[in-house]
Amino acid sequence: MRIKNDAGAGYLVSQVWDFSNYAMKDSLDDDGEDLSESGINIFPALYPLSKTQNAVALVQKWSTSYSGGGKEMDLADFMMLNEDGTYKTVFSKIPFYSKEQIRACFSDSDYAKKSHCSDESWSVLNISILDSGDEFYSWEFITKSYDWPSFVDKSKIKKSIDKKTLYPFKNIEK
């Protein structure tokens, strides 16, 4: 929804985009895991594509539960918002967020002896917008991943960073 300030009438809705019938393409490559889809949400942010165009992220959530843990994955499709209320996919199936926890202690004595009784991992996407003077900005997808094995002190969490630069409407990676 776009809102404008009309001096005489106050704030008015000037444009609405309807994503109610949007379906993500190809869904999840789940490598045999039994993950359940739990809907698509609009992430509350605007992402600049150019000086005049913006995109929103439609985030599809997948999850499963384990005995003593579980896994969640969020994938995003970034949609360019056109002035006439239409939209177009810019990037699809971008890993947006994930977390997994697997229990490693199974008895009261395990819990009494160990301070961290689960294997945990998570990742978060950050986006850097790069203006190189082209019609559309390029986007740098920066995924920060964390791994915290069971029975290991929190100060020993392993962190890794993966960076990819992608260009809107092109299957080109830098």
- pLDDT tens profile 96-113: 999 999 998 888 887 787
Per-residue tokens: 129:
């917008």
Of 3-17, 34-48, 117-131, 138-152, which range is least confident? 3-17
Q: pLDDT at position 164, please?
A: 94
* Predicted TM-score (pTM) of this structure: 0.81
Residues sharing a CB contact under 8 Å with residue 91, sequence separation 6 or more, in sequence order = 76, 77, 78, 139, 166, 168
Helices (H), 42-141: 108-113
The upper half-sphere exposure of residue 110, i.e. CA atoms within 13 Å in the direction of its Cβ, equals 10
C-alpha 48: how far from chain center: 16
